[in-house]
């Protein structure tokens, strides 16, 4: 109950922007790596994530709705992505919903309900969320999460057969003008063949509700005549 009240209180103040230096490291199941370094901007009012990357090459990536625009100095690549910025860490943190991963609000609250709350040996609050929507019980699995001091520490997603799909760990929280933001997020995704992909994202120099750099937050989306398809156009 205290936990839920805490989450509600955090919701009281709304923030709208976040900027950070970002470094995303991936180790893929085939043994190869990925490294992406740059800055990320998120504006909650426009639901737009903008990555201004410097490595592996200079490029800007905009994710808006389910479209990704990859802009380099001589080309624009447009592709459809299965992403919803409303479940991004930026949106959840700014909305004060990161503590329960947004499971207790919006349409998702109709699907998942808390089925078990316990404490582990380290004093973390372990919450199990189960699917209550009958029609989705055969499709979706439970979600387990661990909270420390009302902050999300770890979350695990399962499929309907109770097989682990992915784990995420949120570490090194800092409070920025009232927004609790983890500086390190690690995700382990389990593939169907049992192999794993590991991704670690590090955020530095986090700024909340920045009032300048409007041109970055409002980076114009390129006009493409045929969206959802790869296209090259000289700039």
Partner 1 sequence: MKSIIISTIALVLALTSCQQKQYAYVQQGKVENFESSRKVTQSQVANQTKNEITSTITNNINETNQLAASEVLVLNEETASLNNNISENEVLVYNQESINSNFEKLNKVEAFVEQNTEASFETIKNTDLLKDIELDTNTSANVTKDNDLPLNIPAFLWGCFLGGLGILLVYIFTEDKEQTKKALYGCLTTGGVVAVIYIVLIAIGLSAGTL
- Within 10 angstroms of residue 69's Cβ, the number of other Cβ atoms is 20
Q: Pick one of 5, 9, 14, 56: the residue that binds partner 1 (CB under 8 A).
A: 56
Our finding on whether 104 is near partner 1 (CB under 8 A) is: no
- Smallest gap from Cβ 107 to partner 1, in A, equals 4
Our finding on whether 93 is near partner 1 (CB under 8 A) is: no
Q: Which single residue is written with the structure tokens 């919006």?
A: 106
* Burial class, 190, CB count within 10 angstroms (exposed 0-12 / middle 13-18 / buried 19+): middle
Give the per-residue contact string, 65-84, with partner 1 (x = CB under 8 A; - = no).
xx-x-x------x-x-xxxx
Our finding on whether 114 is near partner 1 (CB under 8 A) is: no
Our finding on whether 165 is near partner 1 (CB under 8 A) is: yes
Q: Which single residue is written with the structure tokens 């592709």?
A: 79
What DSSP string runs through 32-85?
Answer: -EEEEEEEEEEETTTTEEEEEEEESS-EEEEEETTEEEEE-SS-EEEEE----G
Q: Pick one of 2, 45, 57, 223: the residue that binds partner 1 (CB under 8 A).
A: 57
Our finding on whether 187 is near partner 1 (CB under 8 A) is: yes
Sign of the Cα torsion 200, 205, 208, 214 reads negative
Measured from the CB atom, the residue of 7 and 40 that comes closer to partner 1 is 40
Q: Which single residue is written with the structure tokens 């959802």?
A: 228
- Of 4-33, binders to partner 1 (CB under 8 A) are 23-28, 31-33
Give the per-residue contact string, 134-163, with partner 1 (x = CB under 8 A; - = no).
-xx--xx---xxx------xxxx--x-xxx
């Amino acid at each position: 109950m205290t936990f839920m009240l805490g989450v509600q209180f955090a919701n009281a103040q709304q923030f709208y922007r976040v900027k950070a230096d970002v470094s995303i490291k991936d180790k893929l199941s085939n043994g190869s790596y990925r490294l992406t370094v740059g800055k990320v901007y998120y504006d909650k009012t426009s639901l737009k994530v903008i990555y201004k990357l410097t490595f592996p090459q200079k490029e800007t990536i905009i994710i808006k709705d389910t479209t990704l625009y990859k802009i380099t100095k001589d080309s624009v690549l447009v592709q459809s992505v299965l992403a919803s910025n409303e479940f991004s860490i930026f949106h959840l943190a700014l909305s004060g919903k990161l503590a329960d991963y947004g499971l207790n609000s919006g349409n998702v609250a109709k699907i998942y309900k808390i089925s078990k709350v316990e404490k582990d040996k380290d004093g973390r609050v372990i919450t199990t969320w189960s699917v209550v929507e009958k029609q989705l019980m055969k499709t979706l699995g439970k979600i387990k999460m661990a909270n420390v001091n009302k902050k999300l520490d770890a979350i695990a997603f399962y499929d309907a057969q109770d097989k682990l799909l992915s784990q995420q760990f949120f570490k090194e929280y800092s409070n920025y003008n009232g927004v609790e933001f983890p500086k390190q997020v690690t995700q382990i995704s389990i593939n169907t063949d049992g192999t794993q992909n590991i991704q670690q994202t590090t955020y530095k120099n986090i700024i909340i509700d920045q009032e300048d750099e409007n041109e970055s937050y409002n980076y114009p989306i390129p006009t493409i005549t045929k969206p959802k398809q790869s296209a090259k156009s000289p700039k």
